[in-house]
A and B are shown apart, each in its own frame.
Chain A
């Protein structure tokens, strides 16, 4: 399977600060990267879809000015949570889909980043 990394794996920050989360595809070029958020005991919620070199497509209800996504290359996407508040505390997970993958439309997930806003 593909290797996807996220950094940091966990972060604690004060309310009002901004936090950047990196997602890297380590062994292939990612056609598309996805950002999810998951609250405790709830399912995955897609936040946005990101294609290299183009603006991210945000899901309904997700504030694009608060959750800034940059997909600078075929192997790196970043999610910045701006002016974080305690309600933004969650598990943030990225996933990638690859060009020419063995399984059509398969998504490979990173290990996730646990954000806690005090």
Chain B
């Protein structure tokens, strides 16, 4: 069973701080990794994607991938109250005819003004 694990939280940070969200995965052959944000009652939206080891920065967001340790993280700098949401880690599974995203349970983030 391929798994993606996240700390469910809630993670609470003050406004302006750095929020660090972590995710581990079990399939060592995974190649594509995604972070989605989901507001309550809404569908997920893509925040970041990463394919290669190392860091990838996009505005206030940085995704970090370490394939040897099988973890992927998301850093949010200068956190804003509008960042309060659930962050879902997803790993792409490519096994022949079975190609799909494997989802973590999500980490709830609360940014306090």
Where the two chains meet, the residues of A that have a C-beta atom closer than 8 Å to any C-beta of B are 1, 32, 34, 42-44, 46, 49, 57, 91, 93, 103-112
CB atoms of A43 and B105 under 8 A apart: yes
Q: For chain B residues 96-113, which have a beta carbon within 8 Å of chain A? A: 97-101, 103-106
Known: A43-B88, A44-B88, A104-B32. A109 touches B45 (CB 8 A): yes
Contacts A34-B100, A109-B44 given; does A42 touch B105 at CB 8 Å: yes
The interface residues of chain A, by DSSP majority, are classed as loop
Asked if residues B44 and A44 are in contact (CB atoms below 8 Å), the reply is: yes
A111 / chain B contacts, CB cutoff of 8 Å: 42-43
CB contact list, B36-71 vs A, under 8 A:
41-46, 49, 51
Interface residues of B (CB under 8 A from A): 32, 34, 41-46, 49, 51, 88, 92, 94, 97-101, 103-106
Given contacts A34-B100, A49-B100, contact A109 B105 (CB under 8 A): no
A105 touches B42 (CB 8 A): no
**What chain A residues lie within 8 Å of B41 (beta carbons)?**
91
The CA-CA distance from A1 to B99 in the complex, in Å, is 22
Known contacts: A43-B106, A93-B43. The answer to whether A105 contacts B88 by CB under 8 A is no
CB <8 Å contact, A44 and B49:
no
The answer to whether A103 and B49 have CB atoms under 8 Å apart is: yes
> Cα distance A1–B49 when bound, in Å?
14
In whole angstroms, what is the CA distance A95 to B111 when docked?
Answer: 28
Q: With a CB–CB cut-off of 8 A, which chain A residues contact B104?
A: 43
Give the residues in chain A near B92, CB-CB below 8 Å. Answer: 105
The CA-CA distance from A46 to B101 in the complex, in Å, is 9
A-side contacts of B101, CB under 8 Å: 34, 46, 105, 107
Closest to A94 in B: B43
Min CB distance A44 to B, Å, is: 5
